[in-house]
Amino acid sequence: MHLLFLGTGTSQGVPMIGCDCAVCASSDPKNKRFRSSLLIQNDRQVVIDTGPDFRMQALAHRLQQVDATVYTHCHTDHIMGFDDLRRFCEITGTSLPVYGSQFTIDALQRIFPYAFDSNLKVSTYVRAQPHIVAANGEFSIGNTGFIPIDVPHGNTPTFGYIILDRGVRKAAYLPDCAALTDSMAGALRDIPLLIIDGLREQPHPTHLHIEAAIAAGRRVGAKITYLTHLTHNVSHQERQKTLPDGVFLAYDGLRLEL
Amino acid sequence: MHLLFLGTGTSQGVPMIGCDCAVCASSDPKNKRFRSSLLIQNDRQVVIDTGPDFRMQALAHRLQQVDATVYTHCHTDHIMGFDDLRRFCEITGTSLPVYGSQFTIDALQRIFPYAFDSNLKVSTYVRAQPHIVAANGEFSIGNTGFIPIDVPHGNTPTFGYIILDRGVRKAAYLPDCAALTDSMAGALRDIPLLIIDGLREQPHPTHLHIEAAIAAGRRVGAKITYLTHLTHNVSHQERQKTLPDGVFLAYDGLRLEL
């Protein structure tokens, strides 16, 4: 199983429109962050979240196949590229399995109603096969398993996911997360790889910040922690140097073998 | 007044995901097409349509200021970048005037409800000041005037716009358009510059194709016709050579002085 980071940025991406700070003006590709999204490459290819950059991400990595999508929540930076999944429906001639909470699937249906219309016969439109994920409702896509974890993130119901390969817990992905609750800490205990919202240096009401994300990794006993969903306040090269052992900044295009 | 083409592509953009045709594989920048969008640069800067590529388009042209947006219709390729207007609200500290038909504004409100919530106080969110455009309801943004034209485009209510500079008709922009009706031909009579849906070689039920777009320009007596909203079937360099005098393919980054 491989994980490919399609995007590691927060809602505005990096560079940010109309900003000339050192990170936004940087030519370092590791300081260029599309909206957060993760591709899981196993016997099936699964994308977690499809923000507005999804087409650019698919082109950057020459994606030819997406077998299913899984959503953490329905904020715009995680779903507005949904229509660009149409090509994968067109290529395969079938509808695409789409997993998310009832709240998230309802939002997708409100925003992209045609995709959920089973009478629609246009072969070039995105066609979704919705799968409602319940809290604690584990599910599998081929050999890849997903255990949803309820995550605090403002008023929007949000999941993180523990990712399993043939039943073995390999990683957890929580790109939007305001805190590590006791219940989350229990579920994540001894996870080998924690990928978690690190946002920026300063605390934020609906996201972890870097120190809190590092502390979360330590608390659950993660062997390796990757910080994602980063703003333009975080300079990759500079900040990576000062992180503790076993803690890394994720970047667009990073591919991990698990 | 200048017009800057931020995007000249159809709903899937060019290159298209998972396609290796000669145009999609081309390194010619004129064969790379973001979703259709036009920037009007006058005493105010106005964007017509903000599809999912809007952030990339704003970055490509280092946009520092957008004073208003105008919408042709609510298909995903014209609106899904709406949230990325947030930066222009943040920079100015005010809400953004947003113009469109009742149908289009209703769709924006359904999809981005927080942007229309006048109680919302978060300064980094997009905040819209909706302006309903009626058929034949001319309006102005600074020195730039807009005359909406009802355009056939499948089942979705769609406008094209005649663009005026201090009361003088300068251009018309109809990126999505299935036909030239008699009423449209009357409104567009002797327009100096017609920018119109050209899609591809083959006819399409909800778009003009290249020959029909050329015929539309001839019928209204346009001095110059630019074709936009182009698919990957159109190779810029090859097709431009065979177009009649006064007819051109638009491309991303093209800037016209009017």
Report yes or no: B7 at the A interface, CB cutoff 8 Å.
Answer: no
How much of chain B, in percent, has pLDDT values that exceed 90?
97
What pLDDT shows up at residue A82?
A: 98
Distance from the B188 Cα atom to the nearest Cα atom in chain A, whole angstroms:
32
Contacts of B65 in chain A (CB under 8 A): 18
The values of phi and psi at residue A58, to 5°, are -65, -40
Contact between A63 and B18 using a beta-carbon 8 Å cutoff: yes
Contact between B83 and A76 using a beta-carbon 8 Å cutoff: yes
Q: What angle do CA B132, B134, B139 make, to 5 degrees?
A: 75
Distance CA(B107)–CA(A9), nearest Å, equals 27
- Check if the beta carbon of residue A163 is closer than 8 Å to that of residue A172: yes
> What are the contacts of A164-173 at 24+ separation with CB within 8 A?
A165/A1, A165/A42, A165/A258, A170/A1, A170/A258, A171/A3, A171/A195, A171/A258, A172/A196, A173/A38, A173/A48, A173/A72
Distance of CA A84 to the CA centre of its chain: 17
Give the contacts of B66 (CB within 8 A, at least 6 positions apart): B45, B46, B47, B58, B85, B88, B96
Distance CA(A7)–CA(A78), nearest Å, equals 10
- Check if the beta carbon of residue B198 is closer than 8 Å to that of residue B249: yes
The values of phi and psi at residue B182, to 5°, are -60, -40
Contact between A87 and B17 using a beta-carbon 8 Å cutoff: yes
What pLDDT shows up at residue B234?
A: 98
Contacts of A56 in chain B (CB under 8 A): 53, 56
Q: Read off the pLDDT band of B123 (50, 70, 90).
A: confident
Angle between helices B102-111 and A102-111 (to 10 degrees): 160
What pLDDT shows up at residue A136?
A: 81
Distance CA(B4)–CA(B252), nearest Å, equals 8
Contact between B18 and A76 using a beta-carbon 8 Å cutoff: no
Report yes or no: A9 at the B interface, CB cutoff 8 Å.
Answer: no
> What are the contacts of A212-218 at 24+ separation with CB within 8 A?
A212/A179, A212/A180, A214/A243, A214/A244, A214/A247, A215/A180, A216/A180, A216/A185, A217/A246, A217/A247
| CB burial string B71-94: b at 16+ within 10 A, e below | bbbbbbbbbbbbbbbbbbbbeeee
What pLDDT shows up at residue A26?
A: 97
pLDDT in tens, B204-249: 999 999 999 999 999 999 999 999 999 999 999 999 999 999 999 9
What pLDDT shows up at residue A76?
A: 97
Chain A residues 105-164 with a CB less than 8 Å from chain B: 110-112
What pLDDT shows up at residue B120?
A: 78
Q: What are the structural domains of chain A? A: 2-257 (3.60.15.10)
Distance CA(A31)–CA(A19), nearest Å, equals 13
Q: Which of A33, A50, A54, A55 to mutate to test the interface with B (most CBs of B within 10 A)?
A: A55
Complex ipTM value: 0.96
In terms of pTM, does the model score above 0.80? yes
How much of chain A, in percent, has pLDDT values that exceed 70?
100
Report yes or no: A212 at the B interface, CB cutoff 8 Å.
Answer: no
Q: Calculate the average pLDDT of chain A.
A: 97
Report yes or no: A15 at the B interface, CB cutoff 8 Å.
Answer: yes
Cis peptide before B203 (omega within 30 of 0): no
Contact between B110 and A110 using a beta-carbon 8 Å cutoff: yes
pLDDT in tens, A179-232: 999 999 999 999 999 999 999 999 999 999 999 999 999 999 999 999 999 999
The values of phi and psi at residue B7, to 5°, are -160, 145
Distance CA(A176)–CA(A174), nearest Å, equals 6
pLDDT in tens, B41-51: 999 999 999 99
Distance from the B17 Cα atom to the nearest Cα atom in chain A, whole angstroms:
6
User: Which amino acid is present at B224?
Assistant: I
Q: What is the largest CA-CA distance in chain B?
A: 55
The helix (H) or strand (E) run that includes residue A168 is strand A168-174
Report yes or no: B13 at the A interface, CB cutoff 8 Å.
Answer: yes
* Token code pair at residue B113: 């409800």
What pLDDT shows up at residue A100?
A: 98
Contact between A58 and B18 using a beta-carbon 8 Å cutoff: yes
How much of chain A, in percent, has pLDDT values that exceed 90?
97
* Token code pair at residue A150: 């309820």
Choose among A52, A81, A84: nearest Cβ to B84.
A52
Contact between A91 and B59 using a beta-carbon 8 Å cutoff: no
Chain A residues 55-74 with a CB less than 8 Å from chain B: 55-56, 58-59, 63-65
* β-strand partners of A70: A48, A99
State mean pLDDT over A45-54: 98
